[in-house]
Amino acid sequence: TNGFPLCAKEMSFDPYQQNGGTVLGIAGDDFAIVASDTRLSVGYSIYTRDSPHCHTLTQQTVLGCAGFEGDVLTLTKSVRHRLADYKRDNEKDMSTPCVAQMLSTMLYHRRFFPYYTYNILGGIDEFGKGCVFSFDPVGSYERETFRAAGSASTLLQPLLDNQIGFKNQSGVEKVPLTKEKAVTLVKDLFTGAGERDIYTGDAVQINVVTAEGVTTEYFKLRRD
């Protein structure tokens, strides 16, 4: 020891990193919306302002996936490979509910070393209805009408509960949600989130899924 006292030194290894990002899904009668911001960052550093967290899987299914970018890339690549195998074997695209079940199985398979991702799947089911599925890190999933996930989820979810779920309102007429109103609401939600969450900003990518396919729209947010 050359005269120096021995001392214990703690070594640690963290395989995960939080890269921010917010995703949300809204299901209507004949449409679904999956939206996300486009910022990729760590701490106070912005890596890029043009990295959407939405991934179009089929003509009727979009996956919103945020969190650790390394796991996002790995998971979406594996999902696309399985969808390609299914289409080759069955000569058709997998339906959105089936994609949700497959994704649940893939997440559960990694339960002892989970993907550090926030996943929301949206699309059209076999009956032509809009559907949204939310997942926990190890594959438990649920079909819902609306859900937010990611770094600003605690800011978005109460507004979704109020404006779409009509929670904490009395005497309000519960009218069906139109596609136009849903898109406007998404823009307002992300504009508000960008004011309070440093990991959400730059722009929002809005993917509207109908029986005809997926249309994408961008809306600028604050960039600081």
pLDDT score at 14: 83
pLDDT score at 41: 95
pLDDT score at 5: 67
Measured in degrees and rounded to the nearest 5, phi and psi for residue 179 equal -65, -40
Q: Quick check: 190 and 172 in contact, CB under 8 A?
A: no
**Residue 103: CB partners within 8 Å, gap ≥ 6?**
63, 79, 119, 121, 133, 135, 139, 141
Positive or negative torsion for Cα 183, 189, 194, 199: negative
pLDDT score at 196: 93
Tokens of 153: 């989820």
Q: Quick check: 71 and 117 in contact, CB under 8 A?
A: yes
Q: Which helix H or strand E contains 102, and what residues bound it?
A: helix 96-109
pLDDT score at 10: 76
pLDDT score at 12: 78
Q: Alpha-carbon distance 95 to 84, whole Å? A: 13
Report residues of the chain scoring pLDDT below 50: none
Q: Quick check: 207 and 215 in contact, CB under 8 A?
A: yes
Q: Alpha-carbon distance 201 to 50, whole Å? A: 10
pLDDT score at 15: 87
pLDDT score at 81: 98
pLDDT score at 13: 78
pLDDT score at 2: 62
Q: Alpha-carbon distance 37 to 183, whole Å? A: 14
pLDDT score at 173: 87
Pairing of strands 117-124, 22-27: unpaired
Tokens of 13: 């290894």
pLDDT score at 21: 95
The residues facing 56 across adjacent strands are 62
pLDDT score at 171: 84
